[in-house]
Amino acid sequence: MESHWSDPMIEIDQTHAIDLKSWFEPANRATTDFPIQNLPFGMYRMVGSNDSFRACTAIGDHVLDLAAVDAEYKDNLNKLAGAGRTTWRQLRVALSQALSAVEMRSRIERFLVPMAKVELGLPVLSRDFTDFFTSYFHAYNAGKLFRPDDPLTPNFKWMPIAYHGRASSIIVSGTEVRRPWGQIITPDSANPIFAPSRFLDFETELGFVVGPSTELGLSVNIDQAEDHLFGVVLLNDWSARDIQAWEYQPLGPFLAKSFASTISPWIVTLEALAPFRAPAFKRFEGDPAPLAYLTSSKNNRSGHFSINLAAHLKPRGGSLQCLSKANYDTSYWNPAQLVAHQTSNGCPLNAGDLLGTGTISGPAASEAGALLELGKMGQTPVTLENGSTRIALEDGDQLILKGECMREGYRSIGFGEAAGIVTPAQQL
């Protein structure tokens, strides 16, 4: 298949061909997130087993143990993430050939396991978690609630703002999320109380998984930044807004966000996302141009990704409904810019580290990626299909993030889901 791009960072090859089929029929179904054109990486073990997790790829409704094509990375995706782009491409091609060539079926089929029979673990172990603030629309909408006359902080359009999160509370989809305790200022008191959060919220995000490490003291040029990105997961950075409101000044979020950050179990690689490139965000008239280390002609041309995201809520005893939808390409800052900025002062990155996008919101009201925005901080509660309303998540609510990439001429691919159910606060 002839590449539609001349830029080597966005290679499109035979593994992306829309007419590529697998001998494993579930991978060819139109509804699957995991056709042969996707081939994301994860970790699995059999349900009820105490065995160590093993590396795999998703194909249709099954997982394929990586031992089928490469025993070197069968036990550790951090090692694979650190191996670099040449290795990733070689493994992708090997998997694509193994699952498409009929003559390979007899050798490969025994490594397939139904997803219904496996437990999926964290795909990588992250030493560090940086959560950025990349969506102009989220920054503006949230800022408008607190600072109506001056919603954006002066630095937002100059650099990707971020805080350093807590990697120890990154959890895999399906893990329960316990309502956190914290200090809260109530409207009728000048002094804080210590109580369970009353304004628990979700955040629709993506997390970029770091590939090869960078060195202490060395920065990464924006045009080499993606060489240090392995792939993408869905990310819900659960937030206790009432705890956050009291603690965030002057150093930013802390306990309001460190109790849980849910990620999807599948890392969708940048290679799989090649057909879904998008230009860098087109700045508004009058906006400053990015400083030199945050821009290049290559990044301007194709530094972003078109990824459709949706947040769904399932209340206790109710049905699943969509709360909001947005596309990642509406975010002001893109992945290479995050890496370039994070390393600009010589800060090292390690394989498996997570770089969150921050809440992804689009320009329409229906594209808000958090209840804080959807409900305008309680001014306009969200009405659910069962008639109940929400300004914050309640115990028993299940929040599910989903993602999908679509483009004419290419096979759509998905991300699985990042799901978590809210459970009551610990009894103290």
Which residue from 167, 200, 180 is spatially nearest to 255, judged by alpha carbons?
180
Is 170 inside a domain boundary?
yes
Domain boundary among 95, 121, 147: 121
Is 1 inside a domain boundary?
no
pLDDT, residue 377, reads: 87
Is 428 inside a domain boundary?
no
Question: Is the distance from CB of 137 to CB of 362 less than 8 angstroms?
Answer: yes
CATH number of the CATH domain containing 73? 2.30.30.230
Sign of CA dihedral 369, 179, 398, 420: positive
For residues 141 and 63, membership in a common domain is answered with no
Distance CA 368, CA 366 (A): 6
Kindly report, residue by residue over 71-103, the tens digit of the pLDDT. Answer: 899 888 999 999 999 999 999 999 999 999 999
pLDDT, residue 10, reads: 57
For residues 196 and 81, membership in a common domain is answered with no
Length of the chain: 428
Respond yes or no on whether the N-terminal peptide bond of residue 250 is cis (omega within 30° of 0): yes
**H or E element: which one contains 107?**
helix 105-108
Q: Annotate 341-377 with DSSP letters as a single string.
A: HHTTTS----TT-EEE------SSGGG-SSHHHHTTT
Is 70 inside a domain boundary?
yes
For residues 153 and 290, membership in a common domain is answered with yes
How many CA within 13 A on the CB side of residue 253? Answer: 22
Note the Cα 14 to chain centre separation in Å.
26
Domain boundary among 121, 151, 174: 121
For residues 105 and 180, membership in a common domain is answered with no
pLDDT, residue 3, reads: 33
For residues 251 and 398, membership in a common domain is answered with yes
Range of the domain at 289: 129-423
Is 228 catalytic? The answer is no
Is 3 inside a domain boundary?
no
Is 191 inside a domain boundary?
yes
For residues 219 and 282, membership in a common domain is answered with yes
pLDDT, residue 285, reads: 97
Which residue from 133, 103, 136, 113 is spatially nearest to 55, judged by alpha carbons?
113
Distance CA 268, CA 53 (A): 19
Q: Annotate 141-172 with DSSP letters as a single string.
A: HHHHHH-TT--S-TTTTTS-EEEE--GGGEEE
Question: Is the distance from CB of 35 to CB of 50 less than 8 angstroms?
Answer: no
For residues 117 and 166, membership in a common domain is answered with no
How many domains in the chain?
A: 2
For residues 283 and 407, membership in a common domain is answered with yes
Three-state secondary-structure class, residue 336: helix
Q: What is the CA radius of gyration of the chain?
A: 21
List, for the chain, all residue ranges whose pLDDT scores fall below the cut of 50. 1-8
For residues 82 and 143, membership in a common domain is answered with no
Beta partners for 313?
A: 321, 399
For residues 159 and 302, membership in a common domain is answered with yes
CATH number of the CATH domain containing 285? 3.90.850.10
Domain boundary among 121, 153, 169: 121
Which residue from 157, 194, 266, 231 is spatially nearest to 425, judged by alpha carbons?
194
pLDDT, residue 9, reads: 53
Is 2 inside a domain boundary?
no
Distance CA 366, CA 382 (A): 11
Q: Which amino acid, one-letter code, is at 230?
A: F
Annotated catalytic residue, options 138, 228, 304, 341? 138
pLDDT, residue 38, reads: 98
Beta partners for 114?
A: 62
For residues 61 and 158, membership in a common domain is answered with no
For residues 240 and 289, membership in a common domain is answered with yes
Give the pTM.
Answer: 0.96
